[in-house]
Structure 1
Amino acid sequence: MDDILQEKIHKENKTMHIEFLLLGFPNIHSFQSVFFCLLLFYFVTVSGNLTIIWLVVSNTSLHTPMYFFLTQLSLSDIILTTNIVPNTLSILLQQGKIMSFSDCMTQFYFFGSSESSECLFLTVMAYDRYLAICTPLHYTAIMHHAFILKLVIVSWCLSFSLILISTITVSRLQFCGPNVIDHFFCDLDPLIAISCSDTSIVKMAIFILCFLLMIIPLIIILMSYTYIVLSIIKIASTNERGKVFSTCGSHLSVVSIFYGTLIGIYILPTKGLSTTFSKVISLFYTVVTPMLNPIIYSLRNKDIKQAIKYCISIVISQR
């Protein structure tokens, strides 16, 4: 019994001292251009999402459930991009970076949690639009303050708790070396690819979590918009149809971009695809999408536009 315990402790200690070499973009031709673009994207993402949060908090006209959920989506985007981009910039500067096992698992955990929370908040926002358009008379009774807080708390808790399960499962994999990850962050597929142990349990656990956190939310979003479209069709006036649908336009654009990239990398077959192509798709949903979200809501949402104009007018009047 003591021998088994000692062997288990030895394996755990060995696992904790594992290091990974992240290659990033080894065949890159223009280092300065990529570094500058990533730095610019990161600045735009953080400042854009912080602006959205500030606008919603400071403007009473935006104190509605939809915009409160939008602040949570922005917070999720900030966590995601901050978890990925600074480390990627470090990899670019060093032309490859050694990352400890614990750091790699931490990055994997926060990456999964932020992506999962985004799925859930997009779902909550779709449900909010469904209630507002399809059952307007019951909207205020259902979307009261306590219920909104419950939706937010449950979304965050589900994201961080369920992804913890997958992180623990991945952390039990054995890595026999060489532990070289041809990627710019600790993603699932690269970790599975370099593992020398049986990955069937990990793949099964990830499949179940993807179904719970990605597929089911997508089904709810599609169902919500099916009912929304059916309700819009029943509206006689063309102008009224346009006004009603415009309230969903920004959210629908964000959902399309977000789920389009996730399906492309995690659901569609990836065998035969080059690592460069996989990295480009990964860059899109970890760097580009969080940057586009506040831009889309700023350009396509009348309430956000009016809030921006109001804040600018106040700043000009004070001068």
Structure 2
Amino acid sequence: MEFFNSALGKNITFVRPAYFIISGFIGMPNIKYYYVFLFLIYLVSVLGNTAVMTVIILDHNLRTPKYVAVFNLAFVDLISSSALVPKVLDIFLFNHHHIPYDDCLTFLFFCYTCLSMQSLNLVALSYDRLVAIIFPLHYQVMVTHRFMFTLIGSFWLFVITNTLVAVGLLTRLSFCKSVVINSYFCDHGPIYRLGCNDVTPSRAVGGLLPILILWLPLIFILASYCYIAYALSKISTVQERVKAFKTCSGHLSLVAIYFLPTIFVYVFGGTIHPNARIINLSLTAVIPPMFNPIIYVFQTQEIKESLKKLFKIKGQSRVAVKHF
């Protein structure tokens, strides 16, 4: 991080705390019940996303470009939940509110990287649906394994770079006021606001990241579905429209679950009680990873058929072993 620190000059004395204090849920009534709720959400997320990843690996019919993006989304959801929920429970359930400086920035890096990747992964799935419906005859040429791997890899590089810049700018801040972070995890905004030197670069990044990670992906997704809706309106029969729309229903559900709560917090977060805002922020981070695998299992015919085949094979194997 010397690159970021050199911009301050050689005569600047840093005040870097040994630790930060996460204040998040402190003082909220009956908050231990919420911790149990978070643990149950985490358990469902781990089981569901692991199941989706396993099905895609075992079923050769699901090794298509689309399911490269689905697998990556399940992987990101699994990592995101595992990076956030256990640490949050450790902090608040076992009263480990003091988190070392370096550990806090590492915690921030993994959380922001995974949350950002969830958004961009929905863009990849949106593009897949757009090409499948608008250019069905060219789908095999336009959406290949190589293209999808390149797209997903580019998104990973993009979000990792953005998060590294955000974390790097935090390392140039001097913390001489307070070390109490008013959030449920090592959040970028609450951290840079504690700085007592120039926080302008961090504030600028804090304003730019939502545009790059939230608003631009949402605009692309909405524009793609407007185009899809226009194309479907040209289809002669209602049955064909419904059939085409069903292929998008799972992805639309994922988009709604991820973006609507997040936008609500960003737009109305300043008007609600700070405790309610913290609860809402935590829910927007943990709810999508729980619902994503459930939606894909129940709304995607290929995965349902794959699960049926796997359970049928497993059942037949048990019968054969028992008979033997």
Normalising by the residue count of structure 1, what TM-score does the alignment of the two structures yield? 0.91
> Match of 1:45?
45
> Match of 1:212?
212
Q: Distance in 2 between matches of 1:277 and 1:35?
A: 15
**How many Å apart are 1:172 and its aligned residue?**
2.1
**How many Å apart are 1:265 and its aligned residue?**
2.6
Q: Distance in 2 between matches of 1:253 and 1:63?
A: 23
Q: Distance in 1 between matches of 2:282 and 2:215?
A: 22
Q: Distance in 2 between matches of 1:68 and 1:185?
A: 30
> Match of 1:155?
155
SS in 2 for 1:316: helix
Matched, 1:285 2:271: no
Q: Deviations over 1:34-91 (max 9, x none)?
A: 2322222111111111111111111122222211101111111112111111111112
> Match of 2:64?
64
> Match of 2:311?
312
Q: In the alignment, is the contact (CA less than 8 A) between 1:88 and 1:184 conserved in 2?
A: yes
> Match of 1:270?
269
SS in 1 for 2:29: coil
Question: Structure 1 5/132 Cα, relative in aligned 2: closer, same or farther at 3 Å?
Answer: closer
Question: Structure 1 269/125 Cα, relative in aligned 2: closer, same or farther at 3 Å?
Answer: same
Q: Distance in 1 between matches of 2:270 and 2:195?
A: 18
Aligned partner of 2:59: which letter?
A: N
Q: Distance in 1 between matches of 2:9 and 2:168?
A: 20
Q: In the alignment, is the contact (CA less than 8 A) between 1:19 and 1:179 conserved in 2?
A: yes
Q: Distance in 1 between matches of 2:286 and 2:26?
A: 19
Q: In the alignment, is the contact (CA less than 8 A) between 1:53 and 1:74 conserved in 2?
A: yes
> Match of 1:197?
197
**How many Å apart are 1:155 and its aligned residue?**
1.1
Question: Structure 1 257/194 Cα, relative in aligned 2: closer, same or farther at 3 Å?
Answer: same
* Structure 1 segments (4+ residues) deviating >4 Å: 4-8
**How many Å apart are 1:194 and its aligned residue?**
3.0
Q: Distance in 2 between matches of 1:241 and 1:314?
A: 35
Q: Distance in 1 between matches of 2:30 and 2:208?
A: 40
Gaps of 5+ in 1: none
SS in 2 for 1:194: coil
Q: Equivalences for 1:181-196 in 2 at 5 Å?
A: 181-196=181-196
Q: Distance in 2 between matches of 1:172 and 1:198?
A: 9
Q: Distance in 1 between matches of 2:195 and 2:274?
A: 17
Aligned partner of 1:168: which letter?
A: G
Matched, 1:75 2:75: yes
Q: Distance in 2 between matches of 1:28 and 1:277?
A: 10
Aligned partner of 2:282: which letter?
A: L
> Match of 2:3?
none
- Which has the higher mean CA deviation after the structures are superposed, 237-246 or 19-28? 19-28
> Match of 1:251?
251
Q: Deviations over 1:157-201 (max 9, x none)?
A: 111112111111223222223311232201123223433333332
Q: In the alignment, is the contact (CA less than 8 A) between 1:297 and 1:304 conserved in 2?
A: yes
**How many Å apart are 1:5 and its aligned residue?**
7.1
> Match of 2:321?
none
Q: Distance in 2 between matches of 1:124 and 1:298?
A: 19
**How many Å apart are 1:209 and its aligned residue?**
2.9
Q: Distance in 1 between matches of 2:199 and 2:9?
A: 23
Q: In the alignment, is the contact (CA less than 8 A) between 2:113 and 2:163 conserved in 1?
A: yes
Q: In the alignment, is the contact (CA less than 8 A) between 1:170 and 1:202 conserved in 2?
A: yes
> Match of 1:131?
131
Q: In the alignment, is the contact (CA less than 8 A) between 1:73 and 1:118 conserved in 2?
A: yes
Q: Distance in 1 between matches of 2:150 and 2:53?
A: 19
Q: Deviations over 1:194-228 (max 9, x none)?
A: 33333332121222233223222222111111111
Normalising by the residue count of structure 2, what TM-score does the alignment of the two structures yield? 0.90
> Match of 1:122?
122
Q: Distance in 2 between matches of 1:31 and 1:272?
A: 22
Aligned partner of 1:192: which letter?
A: Y
Matched, 1:261 2:261: yes
Q: How many residues are aligned here?
A: 311
> Match of 1:178?
178
RMSD, matched Cα: 1.9
